[in-house]
Every structure is written in C-alpha cells, then in structure tokens.
Amino acid sequence: MGRLEGKSAVVTGGGTGIGRAASERFALEGARVVIAELNPDLAQETEQFIRDAGGDATFLQTDVTDEDQVEATMASVMVAHGSIDVLYNCAGGSITTDGKVDEIDLDAVYDHTMSLDLRGTMLCSRHAVPHMIASGGGAIVNMSSLAALNGVNMHVYSAAKGGVISLTRSMAASYARNGIRVNAICPGFVLTERVRERFGTAAGERPAQTDKTARRYPFGVGEPHEIANIALFLASDEARMITAAIVPADGGMSVY
Ligand SMILES: NC(=O)c1ccc[n+]([C@@H]2O[C@H](COP(=O)([O-])OP(=O)(O)OC[C@H]3O[C@@H](n4cnc5c(N)ncnc54)[C@H](O)[C@@H]3O)[C@@H](O)[C@H]2O)c1
C-alpha cells in the first residue's frame, strides 16, 4: 500500500525539477497526480513517464499566476477525482536579474517573482482550500527557500519566499480546525537542470567539493528526489501531527 494510496494530489510546476520528481514519487506511492504546469512539453513528458510506470497522472495546462486558470484547474480536478487531498505548490523560482533593492529593475523583477512565487502559491491555495474543507481536510506543502531564512543577494526572491513562510503559518492556523495541514520546505541549492547548468555538472553527478558554493554543503548539494521525499512525508498521513512547520532542507549548510 502506497503512502498516498488513493489520494488526489495536485503538483504545480510538475514539468521539471523538484515538481517533476515529486509528481513521479507521489504517483509511485499511489496518488492520482494532476500536473498543473505552464509548459506542455515538459508536463507531457512527466505525465507519460508516470503512465509508462503504471501510475495515474493527468496534465492540466495552468499558469499559477492566472486566477481564472487556477480556478478552472481545481474545478477540473474535482470533476475527475472528486477531491483534492494534497496540494504541492512547487512552481516557482528566482531569475538571474534579481539582486539588491537599490540595483534591480524593480518592475521587471518584482512583478515576475512576486507573481510566480507568492501570488501563485496564494491563488492555488485559495482555490484548493474550499474543496479540501468540503471533504474534511487535506495537506498543502509550499516551497519556500533557504533564501528566505539566510541573507542572499536576491532581495525580491528572498522576500517572496519569506511571504510564503508567513502565508504557510497563517493558513496552518486558520484551517487547522478544518483538518488542513500546511507546511513549507526551505531547500538550499537543489540539482535541478537549471542549477546543474550553474555548477556545470552532468546528470547523476554532484558538484566537486572544490566548488566554493558546493563546499558549504557538508552532505553535498541536494537532488530533486531528496526534496520530493520530504514533500511526500509532509503530504502523507504520516505527518498527521505536523502543521505550520518550516523545514530547512539544506544538507546542514545553514548550521555548518
Ligand atoms: N532548485 C533549487 O535550488 C531550489 C532551491 C530552493 C527553493 N526552490 C524552489 O523549489 C521550487 C521548484 O524549483 P525547481 O528548481 O525545481 O524549478 P525548475 O525551474 O526546475 O522548474 C519549475 C517548473 O515550474 C514551471 N512553471 C514556471 N512558471 C510557471 C507558472 N506560472 N505556472 C505553472 N508552472 C510554472 C516550469 O515550467 C517548470 O516546469 C520553486 O518554488 C523554487 O523556488 C528551488
């Protein structure tokens, strides 16, 4: 029996990176996964991979920053599956033009990043929560970042992910009596394709410990499946006693 057996799970940004690893893992654990993703090529690859492995996955093209699309996606999930038991708000990320408040092009960076990382999380939660309340509860897992806890030179991303932490704790408080648990994960660097490019490492390889950034991670830089494992636990009934938790997942970097 899988750890998410029979549950209906929506994973945003499931086309690649951590969202893809989580979609695959959730399906392997028995969830009926909906990949709510902007990029159809990536999402269809994830969907096909899961189906080929015998899992249940459906791609619904969704821009998480667009309220009408988000509302329509959640309504479609309800028609198809009858409930939304898990929402993993994974779509997000920083952009290279982010920086210090006195240097950035505020309009370009602020609007994009706040919209994707904070508004997207808020909109998906806003349209999943009423369905969760109606069916007696559920689990929301949000993606924050170590950038929200440590000082980084990406001030907008840091603020957006800080907002995700505050939103997580407020929603956890507001919906606890409705049986909804809300938790967030704060990864350090995770070796998605995007981050691999930064380190110049091939799939399956970890960056050399001679790399200045990699050396700060005593357990090595994380892999997408390692974050997916944490999301799986928080999404599953094994975490029944846990809500409002902010889980750093940085391989010991922040205490090292
Ligand atoms: N990779 C890291 O090092 C790292 C570290 C800390 C936190 N995070 C967070 O983890 C989450 C996943 O990061 P990742 O590195 O796996 O990302 P990624 O860039 O590898 O994948 C992001 C996915 O989201 C999709 N997406 C982008 N905009 C979207 C939108 N508007 N609507 C729907 N889907 C959209 C993309 O098409 C892509 O499939 C993000 O929230 C990110 O901020 C990542």
Break the chain into its structural domains and give their ranges: 8-190+224-255
- Tell me the mean pLDDT in the region 10-35: 98
Residue 9, ligand 1, Cβ within 6 A:
no
CATH dotted code for 8-190+224-255? 3.40.50.720
Q: What is the mean pLDDT of residues 24-41?
A: 98
Ligand 1 atom nearest to 16, measured from its CA:
39
- Greater confidence (137 vs 216) lies with 137
Bridge partners of 86, per DSSP, are 9, 139
Q: Whose CA is nearest to atom 8 of ligand 1?
A: 145
Which pLDDT belongs to residue 77? 98
CA of 18 to the centre of ligand 1 (A): 7
* pLDDT of res. 210: 80
Which residues have CB under 8 Å from 8's CB, separation 6+? 31, 32, 34, 77, 81, 82, 83, 84, 85, 86
pLDDT band, residue 91 (cuts 50/70/90): very high
As a whole number of angstroms, the distance between CA 57 and CA 122 comes to 24
User: pLDDT category, 203, cuts 50, 70, 90?
Assistant: confident
How far apart are the C-alpha atoms of 169 and 243, rounded to whole Å?
8
Q: Is residue 215 lining ligand 1, measured as CB closer than 6 Å?
A: no
Ligand 1 touching residue 148 (CB < 6 A): no
Q: Which residue's alpha carbon is nearest to atom 30 within ligand 1?
A: 63
42 vs 212 pLDDT, higher one: 42
The pLDDT score that the predictor gives to residue 124 is: 99
Q: What is the mean pLDDT of residues 44-55?
A: 98
Is 157 part of the annotated catalytic residue set? yes
pLDDT at 184 over 90: yes
User: Taking the mean position of all CA atoms in its chain, how far away is CA 56?
Assistant: 19
Q: What mean pLDDT comes out for the span 65-82?
A: 98
Predicted confidence at residue 199, as pLDDT, reads 83
16 DSSP 8-state letter: S
Q: Whose CA is nearest to atom 42 of ligand 1?
A: 93
Catalytic choice (157, 175, 217, 256): 157
Which of 20, 143, 198, when mutated, tests ligand 1's pocket best, judged by the most ligand atoms within 8 Å of its CB? 143
Question: Can you tell me the distance from the alpha carbon of 101 to that of 168, in angstroms, rounded to the nearest whole number?
Answer: 25
Mean pLDDT of the region 170-199: 95
> How crowded is the C-beta side of 200, counted as CA atoms within 13 Å?
4
Kindly provide the residue ranges of all beta strands, DSSP E only, lying in 64-166, ordered along the sequence. 86-89, 138-143
> pLDDT over 70 for what percent of the chain?
100
Side chain identity at 205, as an amino acid letter? Answer: E
With bands split at pLDDT 50, 70 and 90, how would you rate the model's confidence at 63? very high
**Rounded distance from Cα 17 to ligand 1 centre (Å):** 7
How far is ligand 1, taken at its centre, from the CA of residue 177, in Å?
A: 31
State the chain's maximal CA–CA distance in angstroms.
Answer: 53
What does pTM read for this prediction?
Answer: 0.98
Task: Say which residue, 124 or 211, is predicted with more confidence.
Answer: 124
Of residues 148 and 204, more confidently modeled:
148
Of 40-44, 180-184, 204-208, 221-225, least confident by mean pLDDT is 204-208
